[in-house]
Amino acid sequence: MQTVRSLYESQSGTYSGVSTGVTSGVGFAGGRAVPVVGRTVTHTSGRTSTLLADTLAPPPVPAMPPQRGGVLIGFALAAPVLAGCLTVPLLAGGADHAVRTAVIFWAAIGGPFLIVAVALIIHRITSRQRARQAYNAYSAIYPSQSAVWNAAFFCRRCNLAFLPPGALGVPGRHQTVAPQFQYMVTAVAAQLRG
């Protein structure tokens, strides 16, 4: 029997390494075959863990998702400006219909991009608000889930994860098989929050 934390830490980890080598082959230059020799460097890194460690993993730390789409919004806002710049030669022509032609040209080219830019900005604001609400909701429950996870034990003989009776002030005995461990953490954390 051991704590879930120590079991998780002993059965998961990261690795990283660098390997170098020499490659050779044939290349073509000037229409003829020439020998080619080169050096290769390979960087490898990652995470390794057992199925049991993945099953008993701690609750994820709350984090706001990264904002995306800024380049697209920038392009959609730059296109009407570019279209406006293209209308300057039309206006410089001095003809009576030049203003009307310039406005039609800008509306045809820049207008749709402006509409798309406004729609993208509205979408980004609303999705960011939803992400903030989800972040705040999860941040409120994370401490209780983390406390339950830190207090849990795992019996290898029985293949059961459990909280000792009276742990964290929660009445009753809570135990489950490893695949259902995350559900137990969520349920007991809800009892802790009341």
Q: Does the pLDDT at position 39 exceed 70?
A: yes
Contact 110, 84 (CB under 8 A): yes
Band of pLDDT at residue 78, cut at 50, 70 and 90: confident
Predicted pLDDT at 95: 63
Band of pLDDT at residue 153, cut at 50, 70 and 90: very high
> Average pLDDT for residues 41-45, to the nearest whole number?
84
Predicted pLDDT at 150: 92
Cα separations in angstroms, 94 against 87, 88, 102, 168:
12, 11, 12, 82
Separation of alpha carbons 134 and 189, rounded Å:
18
Amino acid at 80: P
Which of 94, 143, 137 has its CA nearest to residue 102?
94
Cα separations in angstroms, 110 against 18, 86, 120:
50, 10, 15
The alpha carbon of residue 25 and the mean position of all alpha carbons in its chain are separated, in whole angstroms, by: 40
Cα separations in angstroms, 146 against 3, 45, 53, 58, 141:
13, 28, 16, 7, 9
Which of 149, 134, 147 has its CA nearest to residue 183?
149
Separation of alpha carbons 156 and 103, rounded Å:
76
Contact 106, 83 (CB under 8 A): yes
Predicted pLDDT at 130: 93
Predicted pLDDT at 24: 79
Going 50 to 55 to 58 to 61, the CA torsion angle's sign is positive
